[in-house]
Structure 1
């Protein structure tokens, strides 16, 4: 089974935009479509509500033979913010849920989680809240991490889980290019890293580190506003495929998909024998 996950940073821009970056994003979408994943998870769709006819037509053209479901941010949360989507081959018929986890603030209304239930396993995606400039949202982020860990722990007791998304944390020094310069930056605080450790200890495996425990220089995000970030590979690994420990031995591949010169997030791919 092949699964791909990507923080796309605006589905509307990706499908209808005319900028150079929109073109680069569409090229990556074409690359993903050509890979024929069984499941494709998308974060940060930024849809105002539902996909428009233009969006639907573009998705049908890019991904024929796929069904899709989505979740957009809704009041009292900000509109056109966060949001998630799944595309999956139409030969599958998963049960779709849109969980709330009793998260702080408006986080439960920001469209951050979708879960697909298959007969023998779950696939779920997350767009984890960022702790923000000046770490203003760090306390709420910690509350989210606790509630989300409890949610996943319940899932994995029922059947194995594959979890993907932008977790907004680089777990270990090996997961970013300049750890010493970012110790108190959002995404690399002691609190965020410890919460990710707690998540793994709750019964989950980082698929990439399972296969490549010591591999350096592999990142999934490069600052969009820093022109040289990709050129210098000054990146962070913020995007993951985690799996329940009991299916970790079935992982066949876990990698970052090349996006060429495009900065920001790159897709991550998991191949697993289920």
Structure 2
């Protein structure tokens, strides 16, 4: 089973920059998007009959939004952490037979940190939500979590310490999430890999020099980590200021459901 997650930073723009070529090449069973920046009816994607499409649109036009394209038939779909659709379209949860998939676009604290208090409150609610799901069946959560967790996850960590996405508070919330029974899958496979980034500033030559941040993740319930095969970063794929990330796991998770 293969999963892909990608913050496309505007799907319509990304489609014009090769999105469909990558989608076909990836051959994912489940493909998750963040920051689609769409409203209903603004795009029609021809992905083939095998993929069902689920969208969570933000109320604000051209802002936020998530989507999941899946070959696997979900038992249920939830929009937002609560039962009702939340206004920024940041979470889509698909329940499958053996696991929950949570696609998330975490709020940015903003450059001046004016949204940091909201961000920290969001983190607590999100962690509680994943724990509630995990009590029922294993969880795979993916998306743009808007935090570089460790110094190894950001090129210039000294000069960025305290900046949005690398504040001590945001990093501590990520630590608390992982300590609550979840695993950063990329670091599980590659604990000390340097220069593995998923986002780059649009400033000139930054991406060419790989001056980036790793802020996109697949996070898995600890008990299904033995069923993971590999985690990857497709840094060569352009079309957004983020690149896609991948997760491969065994097709059947039955052995995890009782653990």
Fold conserved (TM > 0.5)? yes
In structure 2, the partner of 1:19 is: none
Aligned ranges 1:230-269 → 2 under 5 Å: 230-260=207-237, 264-269=241-246
C-alpha displacement at 1:36, in angstroms? 1.2
C-alpha displacement at 1:251, in angstroms? 1.1
Q: Structure 2: which 5+ runs fail to align? A: 253-259
**Matched pairs, number:** 250
Q: Is the 8 A contact 2:14 2:239 kept in 1?
A: no
**Equivalent of 2:192 in 195, 214, 227:** 214
Q: Is the 8 A contact 2:142 2:216 kept in 1?
A: yes
Higher helix proportion (structure 1 or 2): 1
1:73 matched to 2:63: no
User: Secondary structure of 1:125's match?
Assistant: strand
Distance (whole Å) between structure 2 residues aligned to residue 163 and residue 263 of structure 1: 21
Distance (whole Å) between structure 1 residues aligned to residue 241 and residue 206 of structure 2: 9
Distance (whole Å) between structure 1 residues aligned to residue 35 and residue 20 of structure 2: 15
C-alpha displacement at 1:14, in angstroms? 2.5
C-alpha displacement at 1:174, in angstroms? 0.3
1:97 matched to 2:82: no
Distance (whole Å) between structure 2 residues aligned to residue 194 and residue 253 of structure 1: 26
Q: What RMSD over aligned residues (CA atoms) do the two structures have, in Å?
A: 1.7
User: Secondary structure of 2:112's match?
Assistant: helix
Q: Is the 8 A contact 2:228 2:249 kept in 1?
A: yes
1:270 matched to 2:251: no
Distance (whole Å) between structure 2 residues aligned to residue 248 and residue 260 of structure 1: 27
User: Secondary structure of 1:151's match?
Assistant: helix
User: Secondary structure of 1:265's match?
Assistant: coil
Distance (whole Å) between structure 2 residues aligned to residue 171 and residue 149 of structure 1: 15
Distance (whole Å) between structure 2 residues aligned to residue 132 and residue 71 of structure 1: 22
User: Secondary structure of 1:266's match?
Assistant: coil
Distance (whole Å) between structure 2 residues aligned to residue 227 and residue 261 of structure 1: 15
1:12 matched to 2:26: no
Distance (whole Å) between structure 1 residues aligned to residue 198 and residue 222 of structure 2: 23
Distance (whole Å) between structure 1 residues aligned to residue 238 and residue 6 of structure 2: 16
User: Secondary structure of 1:188's match?
Assistant: coil
In structure 2, the partner of 1:171 is: 149
In structure 2, the partner of 1:31 is: 22
User: Secondary structure of 2:149's match?
Assistant: coil
C-alpha displacement at 1:263, in angstroms? 5.7
Q: Is the 8 A contact 1:230 1:261 kept in 2?
A: no
Q: Structure 1: which 5+ runs fail to align? A: 16-21
C-alpha displacement at 1:205, in angstroms? 0.3
User: Secondary structure of 1:133's match?
Assistant: coil
> TM-score, length-normalised on structure 1?
0.87
